[in-house]
Chain A
Amino acid sequence: GAVVSQHPSRVICKSGTSVKIECRSLDFQATTMFWYRQFPKQSLMLMATSNEGSKATYEQGVEKDKFLINHASLTLSTLTVTSAHPEDSSFYICSATYGQGAFGYTFGSGTRLTVV
């Protein structure tokens, strides 16, 4: 089946540093990937849509300069949290569509970011 590999699963970084999260589609080509953020005991909030070879589309209220998204190939999308602050601590999950139409979605296992 379609598998998305997300790394790292956990990361702790110092305030002011940048962190890169990778999301790879292992056995299919993902022209579109999605990045979500999830606060404890809350639902997933869509941050941005990442399209291969073009700029990401950000949801309202998401700072594009803070959350840099790059989708350089059909199998890799990255989310870089720049100049991280404690309020950026969260669970980040990527997702990709596969198959015909938009009916197939597969999710990465998530990245727990803690900014200290």
Chain B
Amino acid sequence: SQQGEEDPQALSIQEGENATMNCSYKTSINNLQWYRQNSGRGLVHLILIRSNEREKHSGRLRVTLDTSKKSSSLLITASRAADTASYFCATPQGGSEKLVFGKGTKLTVNP
């Protein structure tokens, strides 16, 4: 079952602009993860934020987590054409190791 719902479903921006993607989830979580998928490829882990964290940075990535609203956001600053990909949030299901993915946001960065 789908846990997360990302919005927007698709986002098109110019190189150098910032891209913000949002994810909402339904149940309580231990952590939330963001992944990137280039077309027709596997997933690359970007960043994990634990339930007791509110914000986390990794290079040009900034992730926030609001457990009261059951939502998270991924901000990519100073985007590059190479950032063009689909981005998914994922959370472990219940107390298990199963990762449940949101529907994803397809980001296009135009040069």
Contacts and interface: CB of A to CB of B under 8 A. Distances in A.
Interface of A: 6, 32, 34, 36, 41-46, 49, 91, 93, 95, 97, 102-103, 105-110, 112
Interface residues of B, number: 24
Contacts of B45: 105-107
Tell which of A6, A41, A108 has the most Cβ of chain B within 10 Å: A41
Interface of B: 2, 30-31, 33, 35, 40-45, 48, 88, 92, 96-104, 106
A43 B2 contact: yes
A107 B43 contact: yes
B15 to A, nearest CB: 24
Contact of A110 (B41, B96, B97): B41
A5 B45 CA distance: 15
